[in-house]
């Protein structure tokens, strides 16, 4: 346990010195919030009657942060560690593969919480969004439901390429279609019918719906389809992460 805590603290310091991590987790969501919030913030919600666009958008951004940490932080940092021989050195120590992955997962959760707090506080100050204590607990729970799945996706992708440049390119190929087709960048109702049909094949769509439902106080018993899709996605990504993760470049 002591070795795990030291490893986690060491890795977290490295993460916070990485400008890519800071941008995608703490800067990019704020830019998105200010841009789309200024254009559509007080417009009526196209999803929940009585809500506003900003009430739909804030939980979607929190969900996006989980994917951002997965693709641009965990994925790229694991490859950096592998390129620099750090993972190879871990391999000859008593530290297990599971401990390394768990350490990065803990750090990722810390970054997600920091990003979500930043988004909610800013939205509260500018648009006076409302979030009850019960909804807050449900939102946190729904976000954590996606952590294992999306983090496993990041670990799996890190095993497909050997350089950080290739990892960044692969991350963007996955990231941008997901945010535009899952209802994060704009409501699905504004997309053409064919794009809406495609969105229903993207796990991120169901994750955004799950977090939004929790934000609006919708009980999890009414979000069965979203929970089922996320469970299948998580199992699949965990298997891929176990199969593709490697200590050294080929």
Q: In this structure, is residue 250 part of a structural domain?
A: no
Instruction: For 166-213, write each residue's pLDDT tens digit.
Output: 888 899 999 999 998 998 877 788 888 898 899 999 999 999 999 999
| Per-residue pLDDT, 209 | 93
Tell me which residue range forms the domain holding 229.
2-244
| Per-residue pLDDT, 118 | 92
| Per-residue pLDDT, 149 | 92
Question: What's the Cα-to-Cα distance from 106 to each of 21, 99, 146, 151, 174, rounded to whole Å?
Answer: 15, 10, 14, 11, 23
Q: In this structure, is residue 211 part of a structural domain?
A: yes
| Per-residue pLDDT, 189 | 80
Q: In this structure, is residue 42 part of a structural domain?
A: yes
Tell me the pTM. Answer: 0.88
| Per-residue pLDDT, 60 | 93
Q: In this structure, is residue 61 part of a structural domain?
A: yes
d(CA 223, CA 162): 39
| Per-residue pLDDT, 10 | 67
| Per-residue pLDDT, 58 | 93
Taking 70 as the pLDDT cut, the residues of the chain under it are 1-4, 7, 10-11, 14-16, 91-95, 97-98, 250
Sign of the dihedral defined by the CA atoms of residues 30, 205, 210, 52, in that order: positive
| Per-residue pLDDT, 236 | 95
| Per-residue pLDDT, 105 | 83
Q: In this structure, is residue 182 part of a structural domain?
A: yes
| Per-residue pLDDT, 230 | 95
Q: In this structure, is residue 8 part of a structural domain?
A: yes
| Per-residue pLDDT, 2 | 65
The total of structural domains in the chain comes to 1
| Per-residue pLDDT, 44 | 87
Backbone angles phi, psi at 236, to 5 degrees: -60, -45
């Amino acid at each position: 346990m002591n070795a795990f805590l030291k490893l986690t603290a060491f890795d977290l310091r490295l993460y916070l010195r990485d400008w890519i991590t800071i941008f995608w987790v703490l800067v990019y969501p704020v830019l998105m919030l200010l841009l789309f919030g200024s254009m559509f913030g007080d417009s009526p919600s196209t999803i929940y009657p009585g809500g506003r666009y900003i009430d739909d958008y804030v939980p979607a951004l929190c969900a996006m942060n989980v994917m951002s940490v997965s693709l641009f932080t965990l994925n790229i940092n694991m490859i950096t560690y592998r390129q620099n021989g750090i993972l190879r050195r871990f391999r000859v120590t008593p530290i297990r593969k599971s401990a390394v992955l768990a350490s990065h997962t803990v750090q990722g959760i810390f970054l997600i919480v920091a990003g979500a707090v930043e988004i909610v506080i800013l939205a509260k100050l500018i648009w006076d969004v409302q979030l009850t204590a019960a909804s807050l607990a449900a939102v946190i729970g729904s976000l954590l439901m996606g952590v294992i799945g999306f983090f496993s996706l990041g670990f799996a992708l890190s095993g497909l390429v050997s350089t950080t440049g290739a990892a960044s390119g692969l991350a963007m190929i996955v990231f941008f279609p997901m945010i535009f087709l899952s209802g994060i960048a704009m409501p699905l109702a504004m997309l053409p019918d064919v794009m809406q049909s495609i969105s229903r094949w993207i796990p991120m769509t169901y994750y955004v719906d799950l977090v939004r439902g929790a934000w609006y106080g919708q009980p999890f018993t009414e979000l069965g389809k979203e929970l089922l899709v996320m469970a299948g996605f998580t199992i699949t990504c965990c298997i891929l992460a176990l199969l593709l993760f490697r200590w050294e470049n080929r």
